[in-house]
Structure 1
């Protein structure tokens, strides 16, 4: 997917309403550790509480109040928060992982936002398409529900993406203190599991399929991981 772009002015207005100080009024000596905010590469202002701001903007995007192709990149070391809404960015879809317990939906922290209820609705929809197009969920419905997000190269650099939902489950068990068996067995055809990293703070996304990391074109190449060209 290639982004088509959206206006940046509503984004700037949104940030101002949430406590952003515009760059023209910024006093570096007064707030030396303020986080700089960039919109499409232009420095537009600063904010004193970037963690809360990023959480608000991310939640707004997942509730479809912002365009799903808007990218949010927080560089903690550089004290920068970058927002991209321009056209021409190559993006790819991934499943979203819940970052905090959600009382409204009942989704717990560390679980996929894509629930069995959504999957069952999609399966029923495939078997019996609804007469009213507005009742159809489809791919757009998954995006509106926040179950799927599009990431570009910039946002992907600051995301933690696990390969499969199974890996996500193993990570949750490890965080809960359950001893895991890392033995991959004697089956030569069995998929080798990567060892869980105990220093991982939290996964933010999960691949729809491990081959998606290569892209559609590369995925149709036989044995791409053994190809000297790739």
Structure 2
């Protein structure tokens, strides 16, 4: 039985953790029985216990190299791997590079014939481009950000709180 690693359930990247991090961390750590045998052998032989010999340090590096090289994230030849997570950047022209960087892929199967997931939702207008659509099975499932969309990575809360305090009345 392998050692299990519990990652925080409230993690923002919980999907990535479950697909990639958990299996690699569980592979990196040796089983408790093997660790116990190793410690017992060191104590019996009178040697110092060095647990760094029991940790496989190249598992995470090799896993990342494999995943970035093939695009398949997860264990090699195992169920639950996701194909096409990483792709080679299209650098044919500047416009195609920008289009490739602003592409959003819906996690819905291509073989479905439903029209609703392929249409733009009302909340997506102004952020998703209604004109740049792929043809074929991925029609409407791969969407592109509009040219003028700016994605923020985070902002300070103080200016927003000051604005809210300034614009509200005191209702005491």
Query: What TM-score do the two structures reach when normalised by structure 1?
Result: 0.25
Query: Which protein, 1 or 2, shows the higher relative CO under an 8 Å CA cutoff with sep ≥ 6?
Result: 1
The TM-score normalised by the length of structure 2 is 0.31
More strand per residue: 1 or 2?
A: 1
Task: Choose between structure 1 and 2: higher helix proportion.
Answer: 2
